[in-house]
């Protein structure tokens, strides 16, 4: 079977943990942070995992990770 290509955008955005979960960063943390509440900025610092329905799709894009 031939080698599979890794999806370039996905490898920059997602990591697969040892338990098989897909780890990612929260959205809305890049710019215009002055207008956002302290609570929302603080909560978006935490780790975030993709839903199981989306994790299967991401894992297909990252075959060797």
**Where is 22: in which H helix or E strand?**
strand 22-24
Residue spans per domain, the chain: 8-61
Tell me which DSSP letter residue 4 carries: P
What CATH fold (topology level) applies to the domain 8-61? Factor Xa Inhibitor (4.10.410)
Q: Give per-residue pLDDT as tens, 3-25.
A: 999 999 999 999 999 999 999 99
Hey, CA dihedral for 5, 30, 51, 20, is it positive or negative? positive
Q: Give per-residue pLDDT as tens, 29-56.
A: 999 999 999 999 999 999 899 999 999 9
Q: 19-37 burial by CB neighbour count: b if 16+ within 10 A, else e?
A: eeebebeeeeeeeeeeeee
């Amino acid at each position: 079977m031939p080698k599979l290509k890794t999806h370039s955008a996905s490898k920059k955005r997602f990591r697969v943990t040892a338990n098989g979960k897909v780890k990612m960063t929260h959205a809305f943390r890049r710019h215009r942070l002055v207008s956002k509440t302290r609570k929302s900025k603080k909560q978006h610092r935490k780790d975030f995992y993709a839903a199981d329905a989306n994790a299967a799709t991401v894992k297909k894009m990252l075959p060797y990770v």
